[in-house]
Structure 1
Amino acid sequence: MNLRIHSSQKQLKNKGRALKNRMQDKVVLITGAASGVGQAAAQALVDQGARVVVADIDEHNGRETVQRLGEAGLFVRLNIADEYDWEQAVAVTYAHFGHLDAVVNNAGILPTGDIEQTSLQDWRRTLSINADGTFLGCKYAIQALREKGGAIVNLASTAAVAGHPGMCAYSASKGAVAALTRNVAAHCLNHGYRIRCNTIIPGGVRTPMTAAIWSGNDDLSFADNPKSPFCEPLDIANLIVFLVSDESRYINGAEMRVDNAFLVALG
């Protein structure tokens, strides 16, 4: 009995050590990593042994993030809607780290406005950043990963599924992200690439982008309210780590909700 207990404890200890370093030697490029979910994911991945490219248009916060990450971090200025920027970001990643294992398409904007309020200009800007940016991220990720394989993780939203009347352009852009993910997963499967592409569908997340909604309202903290529609960035970051790791090697084309049963409760 004691031998079996000792053996089990040893296995758990070894498993814990393996999980702590399960991202060892992997290089991950994360867009929008200067704040919010992207920043939390960057730290979580580095904590697991990864090296991270903090790709963001926000140079000040991006470089501060890399300072906290240390030598495992690299800042690259990236406008995700600009194809030349993507070419340069991948080239700099290879020049600095030597390879790339995963791309997390996290960056985006959250304009508000219903179908009657949204201007064509706002519509086009939102689709350009959220949809075009993810398209380019997937396109250049496949180009970089198709020889050795890897992972693509795209951030969509419950707005892509539930509609969210006050977020017309945002809902459409995130619907495009979800549909694109399925297409990319099928494309890579059909070509025999060892590239898996999955979507995370968060509900509300307490980030600077959503601060106008949750700021000053303690009831929206999940720590204080189990019915809260808002989670913390780390709740999304933990799933990103899993989807980038080899533990998710057979998960491809999936849409994974992180919404505290929000969509289920809608019926």
Structure 2
Amino acid sequence: MANATQAKVALITGAARGIGLATAHLMVNDGWKVALLDRDADALKSAAAEFDGKALDLLFDVSDPQAAPQAIRACLDHFGRLDALVNNAGVADFGPIEETDFARWRRVMETNLDGVFLMTQAATEALKDSAGAIVNIASISGLRASTLRVAYGTSKAAVIHLTKQQAAELGEYGIRANAVCPGPVRTKLAMAVHTQDIIDAYHDAIPLNRYGSEQEIGEVIAFLCSEKASYVTGQIIASDGGFESTGVGLPALRK
């Protein structure tokens, strides 16, 4: 069994930027040690530098079936334990159904879905030892359909069910599995591609009338990894400013 007096360790995929990097900073501030995994070598090196040598950087691609066991082994060799796995790595490919060929479909699925399965499979024995936590990053697009998201939305809906499957099967080992579904988040990428019309439409559709921040999503992830969520498993938490709750309601009818 893992030594309860040692600092806990989290491995975060897609950690070189965005939600993954924000989550890593929050968890380090809470006393965790972190392993940052990403396939972008330059971005990963830059992200790791922000932790003054306190974070382990792991250059791997989660879509590669050989990568997951190697990454987990490297983490265990360095830290000696694993207490939380945050499956955050993902790709977004938006386009009409009729223009989404099988190659595009597979590019999305191999990272967004296969990567979650492979990383969790490889980490299970270590998480049994620590009675650890899995947090999968799904999306509001996995909860409600939208145009141009046939591959992306379907991959995230599958992650939601995979999370429930993990919770049902791994709970007997003390392993918790939950999913976070971010709504629109104010990332550099989103702000670069969202026109003012898109921004205004999102604000109208979200009860809190704004985008979320990477740190706000990270706070939910960090909570689910922590002992504060020790009786929370199998849950799908939309961190979306209320976006999912509005359903098909028309913003124009709001007071």
TM-score (norm 1): 0.84
State the match for 2:129 in structure 1.
Answer: 147
- The reply to whether residue 138 of structure 1 matches residue 120 of structure 2 is yes
Whole-angstrom CA distance in 2 between matches of 1:96 and 1:215: 44
- Trace 1:228-247 onto structure 2 (pairs within 5 A): 228=210, 230-247=211-228
More moved, 105-114 vs 133-142: 133-142
> Do the aligned partners of residues 36 and 54 (structure 1) sit closer, same or farther apart at CA in structure 2, a change above 3 Å counting?
same
- Trace 1:19-98 onto structure 2 (pairs within 5 A): 25-98=7-80
Whole-angstrom CA distance in 2 between matches of 1:216 and 1:56: 31
Give the residue type in structure 2 aligned to 1:178. Answer: I
Residue 136 of structure 2 aligns to a residue in which SS?
A: strand
Shift of 1:66: 1.2
State the match for 2:236 in structure 1.
Answer: 255
TM-score (norm 2): 0.88
> Do the aligned partners of residues 221 and 161 (structure 1) sit closer, same or farther apart at CA in structure 2, a change above 3 Å counting?
closer
Give the share of equivalent positions with the same residue, in percent: 35
Please, which runs of 5 or more residues in structure 2 have no aligned partner? Answer: 249-255
Whole-angstrom CA distance in 2 between matches of 1:166 and 1:221: 16
Give the residue type in structure 2 aligned to 1:107. Answer: A
More moved, 30-39 vs 77-86: 77-86
Shift of 1:143: 2.3
Q: Deviations over 1:59-98 (max 9, x none)?
A: 1111111111123211001100112111111111111111
The total of aligned residue pairs comes to 240
Residue pair 2:63, 2:110 contacting (<8 A) in 1 also: yes
Give the residue type in structure 2 aligned to 1:109. Answer: V
Residue 95 of structure 1 aligns to a residue in which SS?
A: helix
Residue pair 1:109, 1:209 contacting (<8 A) in 2 also: no
Q: Deviations over 1:211-267 (max 9, x none)?
A: 444377876898xx9412x21100110011101111101000000111111111125
Please, which runs of 5 or more residues in structure 1 have no aligned partner? Answer: 1-22
State the match for 1:166 in structure 2.
Answer: 148
Residue pair 1:24, 1:49 contacting (<8 A) in 2 also: no
Residue 166 of structure 2 aligns to a residue in which SS?
A: helix
Whole-angstrom CA distance in 1 between matches of 2:96 and 2:218: 30
Give the residue type in structure 2 aligned to 1:210. Answer: A
Give the residue type in structure 1 aligned to 2:187. Answer: T
Structural RMSD (CA): 2.1
Give the residue type in structure 2 aligned to 1:66. Answer: A
Whole-angstrom CA distance in 1 between matches of 2:195 and 2:147: 21
- The reply to whether residue 182 of structure 1 matches residue 151 of structure 2 is no
More moved, 253-262 vs 58-67: 58-67
